[in-house]
Structure 1
Amino acid sequence: GGKVALSGILRSDDVDLMVCALESLGLGIEANEDKTAVVVRGCAGAFPVKQGEIYVGNAGTVARFLTTLMAMQRGSVYEMDGSEAMRGRPMGELIDFLIKNGARFTFAKENGCFPFTMESSGLEDNVRELNATKSSQVISAALMVAPLLSNQYKLEFKGGTVSVPFVDMTLAMMRSFSPEGTFDYELRSESASFGSQGYREDDFSYEIEPDATAASYFMTLPLAVGGRCRLEGVFEKMLQGDSVYAGVLREVGLEVRATQVGIECTFADACRGGDFDFNDFSDTFLSLAAVSPLLSGPLTIRGIAHTRKQETDRVAGMANELRKLGQGVEESEDRLTIKPNLNKLKELGRNGLEIETYEDHRFAMSFSILGSCDLLEDGRSWLRIKNPLCCAKTYPSFFEDLELLRKSSTK
């Protein structure tokens, strides 16, 4: 295979885990000094190293995408494990799909979960159906290796899936990594199909979009501190489904407008609540829920049942933390209804409050935006974030960037 130069890479633990795993599988990867760009030497889908131990940490994309590609390797035996949290995240549906297509698994502890040993003689094309009701990543994982199996492929996922825009993003990127004019696809509610002549074999470059989920924290910031925040490279229409979060902020009362280079969010007046379905862009629900004490009316967030099986049970965790802040919270399997109580928050905040992050990067970053609010109107800190460095999973420099904004802000 040829070489692909990737730019705009997000420096994070998840990316480091993927790079480390690929290097241990024999791929040549060259990174620039700040690790925001890499050149990867392609291997046409065949890893040079057929045996080894791979650690995926708590990175769902690494766990699902890499496991599927490793199952393609003929005569391979791999031992795989993840963090304690990853051992509890849904892998069974993907593993069942791989078993039906010829891979063999031996589980060290619980069936369908890390750690396990996977043996393969190369993935077969026996079954083109899987259960994706808990995670759309299993669809993306199966689709990305499918051009190595067939030029015409249809994957069915009866019962639908969550975070559908991420499947569309996967297919769009597969088209970008294919020779021009050779890849077309159709995405429906319970299936995805494509025609392909295989992936590119030449050398090429690909620029990665800025992280729309990470941008959601700074887009929300004016709701907590007033003023406006401009973000470059982030737009309401991107490959990433989380970019539609801008529309939610507009509905709760922020002024959101496009600029020539990105997006600008401005606080205009008291922001209200509302009823929002976050199923397609659920990573951002914490960004809004965390600042809900500052809203003027009730907020309902629904379509989030699948987030109970992510880095932590995000629905229960958010409910717990908001209750600690004196907020009224009604919790059901797939939704939260929050009744803001700013006076209670101020009362509790005088003695200081502490947020548990559950080893979940999104809790640390979301509640840091709430903590930026001058709640006591005297500049004093009032909210403490436990284990803030868990944000290194996807955004190690988050707090440095937030501090730079504070120092450079003007009212």
Structure 2
Amino acid sequence: MSPHTFHTLPSLRHAVRGICRAHCLPSPNGARLVLSVSRLATAALDAGGSVRLEAVEQPVPGGRTLLAVTLHAGRTPASPSPADLPLPGQATPDGTVAWHLPLGEAGSRGEDRPPSLAPPAPRGDAPAPGGAREAAAEGYEAEIAALEGELGAALSRVDTLSTELHRLKDELAETNSGVLALYVQLEERDEQLRRAHGQILRELEDALRPPPITVNGMDLAVHYAPADPDAPTGGDFYDWLLLPDGTVHITVVDALGHGVRSTRSALNVTHAVRTLALEGHPLESIVARTHDILAPFDPDLMATVLLARIDPETGALRLANGSHPPALVVRADGTADYLELRGRGIGFPLPGSDTVREDTLHEGDLLMLYTDGLTESRRDPIEGEARLVTSARAHARRPVEEIPGAVAKDMHTVILHPDDTLALAVRRTGKPQRGHPLAGQP
């Protein structure tokens, strides 16, 4: 559109609307442009002057196109600041104001719909009388002014809401960033607390476990691993001690459950068994008597128990079992056997060992006592027992202190059912030297 001069506000508005339609400007931008041009031109037209309007499409880098609309209205004391218009423009010292509006794909079709620069034609088939025509024009102008006032107020409200929305978005982004940072800090703190908690529990549980014993003619070692390293307490426990008659007593317990409660239950069992063993009760009666002692105090207690008595002098081995996995013996010649023995654990119906199984550990024989976490990590105890035989035979000649951990590592290459694991190894190294049958215990 080449520059065109306007002497009336209606004709100017009509031309601006035509430009907006021709270049397919979005409605909000078009309405703001009409209001801005009208406010700038009002002062000049009220003073009896004229204004010039020009609209040109300008390509910009990136393949985009801008619509440059320029109004030459001059400067008057009543002219508003271009920065305060509904659509702020760029002003020059001579009073020219320009707007640069981005066009979409539809903007290129503007040349198919050239803007009309003429004022709107009067309605009706015949021209109206002069007085009526002037009255109609005044009424039309008043109606347009009222609508523009309402539109300006609406656009102002939209601007206010847009500003508030941007502010709220910025605040929300800052809040989300702060929450995320706090969440990360809490996660790190929680991880630190978990590790510290686990370390404390490990130290407490280690303090509760029996100290090592040294027996002339026998080597002993144990390995324990919790199902959850951050919560190392569990119901797998053991006890070993030297009895007054010189035999070695070993207790292996697996109390139902995990955590501190199961640890307490396992400790109760080992303490009761130790007391009964030191009092000289027969091995075959200890499981049942332990149940009788603990049931009144802990009726929910359920635990499997395996008891072993070994004479370091002769190698005589006696076993009692309460629902526990059987002991495994690997002979010096490489053969291996499970020492099966029936019985029912503490908290089970009819608790006690059905009988006592007797065997002999010869020089070089290895005895493995364990909990089901060692053989049931793949949810198949039969397959686990077969793998345990293979692993124990493979490591039987290693130093005893290395055997339990090496066997557990073999057994846990695949873990489908995590559980607390206890593995205890005893090897008979030979007949004790005369005069030094026992080295004692701390």
For this structure pair, what is the TM-score category when the shorter chain's length is used for normalisation? under 0.3
The structure where helix makes up a greater share of residues is: 2
Highest CA radius of gyration, 1 or 2? 2
